[in-house]
Amino acid sequence: MHFRLLTIFPDFFDGLLQHGVVGRAIKSRLLQVTVHNLRDWTHDKHKTVDDRPFGGGEGMLLKPEPLFDAVETIWPPAERRRPEQKVLLMSAQGRLFTQEVARKLVQSGELLLVCGRYEGVDERVAEHLADEELSVGDFVLSGGELAAALVMDVVARLVPGVLGNEASAVFESFQCKDDSSTMLLDCPQYTRPANFRGWAVPEVLLGGNHAEIRKWRREAALEKTKRNRPDLLWPGDVRQ
């Protein structure tokens, strides 16, 4: 899978691309990541990428010209609309990015993540250039770089081979944990020592009865979901 990142701060991604899951996947050639500097598509000596919004208002907007020029150079219009290529605009006004969205995006072969900055991006980019706007949460970031890094990390984990143990991507939060389609948080996990400061690991996890352990994990995952994310449960779910 190939990620492309379009940004005015290309150095932002250095740590992510060298360490952790993404860094290892790049070294193993399971992922390819290309960082593009938006200022390379400007045409003035100051490499200007932003301007004031029409109608007044606070802040500056990223101009459409360098963004269109960049994307159309990376993916010429005649080639860009291949199904496996998608332009994603990181935006607080976009669709909420979830694990389900990530599972759909991993089916694409190439994602170009456009990192907004300042007060936002000229709306013509969202309307006529991006395939989709994505938001990583109901809050405002200083720029799209952090959001793009988050999206890349989540999607990369779902690429076959990246985690090594394929079960790691299955038995996590936001996966269906039983025979329903309800997504649950992951169950509580414990490691040694079995007793820490008087807080003991649940006895069932120490007994070796795998059927009982599976049952406990399902019930504990449901309880944690009810406590921390009740919005994930169906209205009227009998397990509530």
Element (DSSP H or E) covering residue 92:
strand 85-96
Specify the pLDDT at position 58.
84
CATH architecture of 2-156: 3-Layer(aba) Sandwich (3.40)
Mean pLDDT, rounded, for 95-103:
96
Query: Taken in order 96, 100, 104, 107, is the CA torsion positive or negative?
Result: positive
Specify the pLDDT at position 181.
54
| Model-wide pTM > 0.95 | no
Nearest to 98 by CA among 134, 62, 129: 134
Task: Report whether pLDDT(172) > 70.
Answer: no
Query: Token pair for residue 12?
Result: 């932002």
Higher-confidence position of 35 and 177: 35
Task: Report whether pLDDT(102) > 60.
Answer: yes
Helices (DSSP H) in 34-139: which residue ranges?
64-74, 77-80, 99-105, 123-128
11 with 39: CB under 8 angstroms? no
Higher-confidence position of 5 and 80: 5
Query: Token pair for residue 69?
Result: 């020029």
Specify the pLDDT at position 49.
96
Q: What is the pLDDT of residues 180-191, one digit of tens each?
A: 556 899 999 999
The β-bridge relationship of strands 61-62 and 50-51 is antiparallel
Write out the residue limits of the CATH 1.10.1270.20 domain(s) in the chain. Answer: 173-232
Query: Token pair for residue 24?
Result: 């290892």
Query: Token pair for residue 149?
Result: 């890094």
Write out the residue limits of the CATH 3.40.1280.10 domain(s) in the chain. Answer: 2-156
When pLDDT is cut at 50, 70 and 90, the band that residue 238 belongs to is very low
Fold (CATH) for 173-232: Trp Operon Repressor; Chain A (1.10.1270)
Interior/surface letters 158-194, b for 16+ CB within 10 angstroms, e for the rest: beeebbeeeeebeeebbbebeeeeebbbbbeeeeeee
DSSP classification of residue 117: B
In angstroms, what is the C-alpha Rg of the chain? 22
CA angle 193, 185, 143 (to 5 degrees): 105
Q: What percent of the chain has pLDDT over 70?
A: 89
Specify the pLDDT at position 57.
84
Q: N- to C-terminal Cα distance for the chain?
A: 40
The phi, psi pair for 90, rounded to 5°, reads: -75, 120
Tokens 């169906």 found at:
234
Task: Report whether pLDDT(108) > 70.
Answer: yes
Tokens 């606070």 found at:
58
Specify the pLDDT at position 83.
80
Distance CA 168, CA 145 (A): 26
When pLDDT is cut at 50, 70 and 90, the band that residue 154 belongs to is very high
Mean pLDDT, rounded, for 58-72:
95
